[in-house]
Structure 1
Amino acid sequence: MNEDFAWWLGDGDWYDRRQKAQIEELNSAVDGAYRQSSQLRSRLARIEGDLQSKVNRIAAAFDAFVELSDVRAELAVYTDPAIVRHQVRLLLAAVTGGGPVDPPELPEVGGYWLVPAARALYAQLVDDHAAAAKHTEQATELDAGHAKYFLTAALRLAGPVDLSAVQLAGLLPTEGRPVTYAARALWRATAAGAFGRPGQALLATSLESALGQPGVDNPIDPWLAAITGSAGVTSVRPAAAATTLGSLRQRLTPAEPPADVPADDGDDPVLTPLRDLLRALVDEGHAPERPLLRKAEQLRSVVESGLPRPEFQSWDAAVGSVADLVRGDIFGTDTPGTRPVAVRAAAPWLSACVETIAGHLSAPPESVSVRVRGRDIRVTADGADPAGLAALRNDIDAGYQVRPAKLIGGLVTAVVGLAATVAGFAGVGVGLAVVGLIVLVVGGIVAIVGWRESGQYKAASARERADMDRSVEAQTEAFRSTRSSDEHHRERVAEHRAALAELLG
């Protein structure tokens, strides 16, 4: 409306105003179109990206399918080993399922250890000991490692078996060598009770021997790091030591088995490692076809999910050192079945760590220095340093020192005024009496003011001294509480140390 009035008054140009409005409308329309264009370009780019990724996945799956067809054609010459594996899987399924066991129909495959091993397994299941011994010898001659782990795991799936210490020790980890996938599987199953308490004791002994004893050549730093988070221990506060040893005690204390909980064979700590081991041994295949089998697995995974599958876990692949695996069993969150045996094997190391932590407690505080009114005061359990308190009180008194000049001056003036008043009334003159009376009143007022100021100074000094005493007393109580807490944590450390010594003994 203002622009219209300006035009009517001759101060504006109607044509310019109309043109300006049209330009603003056009700018607004252009901005809206630009925003819509940007949104469309962004959406188109997103759609193109999705389409491109889908096209890439389809192309990769197609290429993998074509290559898989070629690999399958090459695997066709290994039909007999595939039939052997199929028959062995059926045999193992019958063993674990508890159903009747039929003799496996196995073609002859030269050099393939699984053929005589499967025949030895069936012979053992039907109590044909002579045939079992013959086929076991043949499988061992072809590949002793595969055959021993296969027969041990498969026979244990069929039911409890008695293994000699020599037989079991040959399958468990040994000193100075990395732990293989197969040895770790037998380790887990044995720890869970696959071969009874004798097997657990033998496993603990084997692991303890492989770990060695702590010493200069075998430092306990990795164990301290697992317990405390720090490899070196110089000085430990009692509270931190009590918490650390309490947590360690809780972790090492055997858990009570849950009552009336139905067993879950799908997650059986005894059977699951053995099944995984048998799957690795059987799926590995015959030596000539193994590269093709691994290639086919990778290509099949790309065709089915678009992603390559994890690398095949060979039975003899190294999975870690004994020390690392034992520490993982003790301090890991998903290895409760292997923890008791690991604790038995690592008892010397754990005991050394407990003694190191308990033996490096920081000294109890004898005193503490606190800052009060700009002075450092030494505070002990008996209270603050008397000399320091005296110095503080002197500082406070010096700050509120009473100045008696006003009081004395007022009293002297009042006395002089009184004398003049008496003299005036005695006959000297009324004027002197009046002046003396005035001087008396003024002197009295000055004396009263001086006396009140003196009292206020004394009261303020007393209040500040009381505040200082309360502050020092609070600091003393805090120090006593610290000392009491320190003693309490030291008692807890001693309690945990004794309990851990009993657990690890």
Structure 2
Amino acid sequence: MSDWADYRQDRQIRGLQEEVNAAYDYADRRSRTLQSKLSEVQGTLERRIDRLSRSFDAFVELSDLRMELAAFDRESAIRAETRRLLRAVADPPRLDLADCPGYWLGPAAEALHALLRGDEVAAESHAAEATSRDEERTTLFLTLALAMAGRHALVTPWLARALPPLGTTVTQVQRLLWTACAEGVFGETGRSHIEQRLAEFVDGLPAEAATAEGGRWREKIASEGSGRAETSWLPRVLQSEAALTEPPAYAARLTRLRARIEETLPAAEPPAETADTVPEEFGALLTRLVDEGSADEAPLLARARELRQIIENGTATPPKAWDDPEGETRDLLRGDMFEQSTPARRLLALRAGRRWIAAAAGDLAEKASHRPPERLRVRVGGYHLSIGPDGPESTAETEAGVDAEYATNPLAERAGLILAIAGIVLLAVTIPLGLGALPVLPAVVAVGGAILWLTQRHARRVAAEAAVREKARITREAGQITEAIREHRSRYETLATSAAKDRDAILAIVA
């Protein structure tokens, strides 16, 4: 009974110990979970406190800035009047503008008001004053405002000044006007203007740069499809022969280039000259121009906008300036032609890069018209054969090589035959003499020789049959290659004619 009582007590103790351990594990897990949640809460609180701190500092600084900006009351009044004018361009209201020396927006708004009313004399006077203060902003302001008002006849001279000859790099606003001209926002006059600017840029490239750019256009054309489908019917051994596979690939690229050009033409009709076609970016950019402020005021206004962003969003992400670089002119032009772009921009790029397109089309047509060689040296079954449309030049050397590869050594077969005969002779001699076990040796020699002879004879026959099969396979593959070469040559004339037609069609479009 004592042992049973001890056993029960030990079992209870172990059960209690397990419960204690489980309680410890549960407490440890809960502790880690609470610590993790506490860290998250602490991090969130720290971020919130940091954001509140930044927002409070920004609010204090913004209050100080407002005090400084209060000194620019005349500039602020000019902006308010300009906004009122822009909201009513259809029926321009009377302006109440007091001049602010050095600030371009006042006379620019007066020039816009006069243009909208048809007073050319006053418009010229005010525009001259505004451009003397800031020509770039004035011309851009009048270009955008007149386009928003739908006054296409008045916007032409300002567009020419807002979009001057293009340099190596294009700014954001130049790219915006470039795209708008291509899309017909400024009518046919705007489209002709940007086309002229791009033609001047391309014609003004140094010879080395123009050659390099032509190479990039050819690379883009070559990258659109591999052309392998045109030669997938060839036997595998011929698909690595550039003389056979490259001309069809070049012809396929030329066909795709023609299709790209032809599908661009009918879809590029200019839209109607209405205000509905004006991009939304025009209004946003016009607002940014007006809100920039004068030269002394602009840094304060920019900082005030940053502070308001901090207060509202916690961070400040200043917008890109309208005169920041948008990209390289050549890259943008090439992208319009070969990447995702509107048909109108693609048409403009096509006309600007016509000489590169023409050169690429001529090069592709020439390469597609290369006559295939009379004979090809190909590897068939490990042997080189010279094959043409009339078949292999000679198979004697190949057959000799196959025979040599599958040939067996006759010495072993002869040795087996000799041993078999010698064993039989010795056996015939020793048996009549009654020499006991001595005839066993000649018998072993005879049997061994016979086995060697039969084995080698069978191996020779198997090798001969394999050689016959190999020759037949080589002959069959050579026949397939011959037929493929003959078929390829028959397709050559059609390929060359098609490539010439594609080239002529492309040249007729880009000429």
| TM-score of the two chains, using structure 2 as the length reference | 0.71
Show CA shifts across 1:140-198 (max 9, x none).
33223322232233223323433698765433232557444444443333222244334
1:38 maps to 2:32: yes
Residues in 1 aligned to 2:221 and 2:350: alpha-carbon distance in whole angstroms: 20
Show CA shifts across 1:265-305 (max 9, x none).
77x3x444543442332122111110011111111122222
Gaps of 5+ in 2: 224-242, 419-455
Opposite residue 290 of structure 2, the aligned amino acid is V
Gaps of 5+ in 1: 1-6, 410-449
Question: Residue 355 of structure 2 aligns to a residue in which SS?
Answer: helix
Question: Residue 370 of structure 1 aligns to a residue in which SS?
Answer: strand
Q: Please tell me whether the aligned partners of residues 114 and 139 of structure 1 are also in contact (alpha carbons under 8 angstroms).
A: yes
Aligned residue among 220, 225, 228 for 2:216: 225
Question: Residue 379 of structure 2 aligns to a residue in which SS?
Answer: strand
- Which residue does the alignment assign to 2:99? 108
- Which residue does the alignment assign to 1:61? 55
Residues in 2 aligned to 1:381 and 1:122: alpha-carbon distance in whole angstroms: 81
1:466 maps to 2:472: yes
Question: Residue 143 of structure 1 aligns to a residue in which SS?
Answer: helix
Residues in 1 aligned to 2:179 and 2:145: alpha-carbon distance in whole angstroms: 15
Q: Please tell me whether the aligned partners of residues 74 and 100 of structure 2 are also in contact (alpha carbons under 8 angstroms).
A: yes
Aligned residue among 486, 497, 504 for 1:498: 504
Aligned residue among 73, 77, 90 for 2:71: 77
Query: Given the superposition, is the C-alpha separation of residues 43 and 108 from structure 1 closer, same or farther in structure 2, using an over 3 Å criterion?
Result: same
Q: Please tell me whether the aligned partners of residues 221 and 253 of structure 2 are also in contact (alpha carbons under 8 angstroms).
A: no
Q: Please tell me whether the aligned partners of residues 396 and 464 of structure 1 are also in contact (alpha carbons under 8 angstroms).
A: no
Show CA shifts across 1:423-453 (max 9, x none).
xxxxxxxxxxxxxxxxxxxxxxxxxxx9999
Residues in 1 aligned to 2:507 and 2:292: alpha-carbon distance in whole angstroms: 46
Query: Given the superposition, is the C-alpha separation of residues 109 and 61 from structure 1 closer, same or farther in structure 2, using an over 3 Å criterion?
Result: same
Aligned residue among 121, 137, 153 for 2:144: 153
1:121 maps to 2:121: no
Residues in 2 aligned to 1:41 and 1:240: alpha-carbon distance in whole angstroms: 66
Question: Residue 112 of structure 1 aligns to a residue in which SS?
Answer: coil
Query: Given the superposition, is the C-alpha separation of residues 393 and 38 from structure 1 closer, same or farther in structure 2, using an over 3 Å criterion?
Result: same
Residues in 1 aligned to 2:197 and 2:360: alpha-carbon distance in whole angstroms: 21
Residues in 2 aligned to 1:390 and 1:242: alpha-carbon distance in whole angstroms: 39
1:137 maps to 2:128: yes
Residues in 1 aligned to 2:187 and 2:196: alpha-carbon distance in whole angstroms: 15
Q: Please tell me whether the aligned partners of residues 214 and 349 of structure 1 are also in contact (alpha carbons under 8 angstroms).
A: no
Aligned residue among 167, 188, 194 for 1:197: 188
Q: CA deviation at 1:68?
A: 1.9
Question: Residue 321 of structure 2 aligns to a residue in which SS?
Answer: coil
Query: Given the superposition, is the C-alpha separation of residues 493 and 470 from structure 1 closer, same or farther in structure 2, using an over 3 Å criterion?
Result: same
Residues in 1 aligned to 2:60 and 2:493: alpha-carbon distance in whole angstroms: 75
Residues in 1 aligned to 2:31 and 2:306: alpha-carbon distance in whole angstroms: 44
1:391 maps to 2:382: no
Aligned residue among 275, 299, 322 for 1:291: 299
- Which residue does the alignment assign to 2:199? 208
- Which residue does the alignment assign to 2:88? 94
Q: Sequence identity, in percent?
A: 33
Opposite residue 307 of structure 1, the aligned amino acid is T
Show CA shifts across 1:295-352 (max 9, x none).
11111122222232333524x4444443333234333424544332232222223333
1:343 maps to 2:350: yes
Q: CA deviation at 1:462?
A: 4.8
Aligned residue among 308, 313, 316 for 1:305: 313
Residues in 2 aligned to 1:464 and 1:121: alpha-carbon distance in whole angstroms: 91
Q: CA deviation at 1:13?
A: 6.6
Residues in 1 aligned to 2:306 and 2:220: alpha-carbon distance in whole angstroms: 40
Q: CA deviation at 1:120?
A: 1.8
Once structures 1 and 2 are overlaid, which stretch shifts more, 270-279 or 186-195?
270-279
Residues in 2 aligned to 1:169 and 1:263: alpha-carbon distance in whole angstroms: 18
Question: Residue 164 of structure 2 aligns to a residue in which SS?
Answer: coil
Once structures 1 and 2 are overlaid, which stretch shifts more, 212-221 or 291-300?
212-221
1:174 maps to 2:159: no
Once structures 1 and 2 are overlaid, which stretch shifts more, 153-162 or 116-125?
153-162
Residues in 2 aligned to 1:263 and 1:169: alpha-carbon distance in whole angstroms: 18
Question: Residue 303 of structure 1 aligns to a residue in which SS?
Answer: helix
Query: Given the superposition, is the C-alpha separation of residues 309 and 492 from structure 1 closer, same or farther in structure 2, using an over 3 Å criterion?
Result: farther
Aligned residue among 319, 326, 330 for 1:323: 330
Aligned pairs for 1:259-298 (under 5 A) are 268=277, 270-272=278-280, 274-298=282-306
Residues in 2 aligned to 1:300 and 1:56: alpha-carbon distance in whole angstroms: 16
Which has the larger Rg? 1
Query: Given the superposition, is the C-alpha separation of residues 212 and 229 from structure 1 closer, same or farther in structure 2, using an over 3 Å criterion?
Result: same
Aligned length: 448
Residues in 1 aligned to 2:83 and 2:333: alpha-carbon distance in whole angstroms: 32
Q: Please tell me whether the aligned partners of residues 185 and 277 of structure 1 are also in contact (alpha carbons under 8 angstroms).
A: no
Q: Please tell me whether the aligned partners of residues 285 and 293 of structure 1 are also in contact (alpha carbons under 8 angstroms).
A: yes
| TM-score of the two chains, using structure 1 as the length reference | 0.71
Opposite residue 143 of structure 2, the aligned amino acid is T
Q: Please tell me whether the aligned partners of residues 220 and 353 of structure 1 are also in contact (alpha carbons under 8 angstroms).
A: no
- Which residue does the alignment assign to 2:438? none
Q: CA deviation at 1:77?
A: 1.6
Residues in 2 aligned to 1:108 and 1:319: alpha-carbon distance in whole angstroms: 35
Residues in 2 aligned to 1:246 and 1:55: alpha-carbon distance in whole angstroms: 64
Q: Please tell me whether the aligned partners of residues 301 and 309 of structure 1 are also in contact (alpha carbons under 8 angstroms).
A: yes
